[in-house]
Amino acid sequence: GRLRTAACRYRHRRLAALAIERNCARVEWAVLDWNALAVGFYERLGAQAMSAWTVYRLDGAALRRLAAR
């Protein structure tokens, strides 16, 4: 509800302030594309989707194989 949204906005504001304080150029995070509520929330914050990027995951057997090399 509204309380959760307010708490999220506060946390994102604090994260942005910390990033500025530490001279970070940006903050990035991941969101599932089907999560319209989260996508809308982040867009209202001013975030932009990075459509040129693809997320890769290494897990299970492939992760173990790489670790063993």
Position 3 pLDDT exceeds 80: no
Question: What digits encode the pLDDT tens for the residues 13-43?
Answer: 999 999 999 999 999 999 999 999 999 999 9
Q: How far is CA 54 from CA 6, 33, 49, 51, 66, in A?
A: 30, 12, 11, 8, 20
Is 10 among the catalytic positions?
Answer: no
The conformation of residue 8, written as its DSSP 8-state character, comes to H
Residues 6 or more apart whose CB falls under 8 angstroms from that of 29 comprise 42
Predicted TM-score (pTM) of this structure: 0.72
How high is the pLDDT of residue 6?
A: 85
Give the span between the Cα atoms of 62 and 65, in whole angstroms.
5
> Which one is catalytic: 39, 42, 43, 68?
42
Indicate the pLDDT class of residue 5, thresholds 50, 70 and 90.
confident
Question: What digits encode the pLDDT tens for the residues 41-64?
Answer: 999 999 999 989 988 999 999 999
b or e along 21-49 (b: 16 or more beta carbons within 10 Å of the residue's beta carbon)? eeeeeeeeeeeeeeeeeeeebbeeeebee
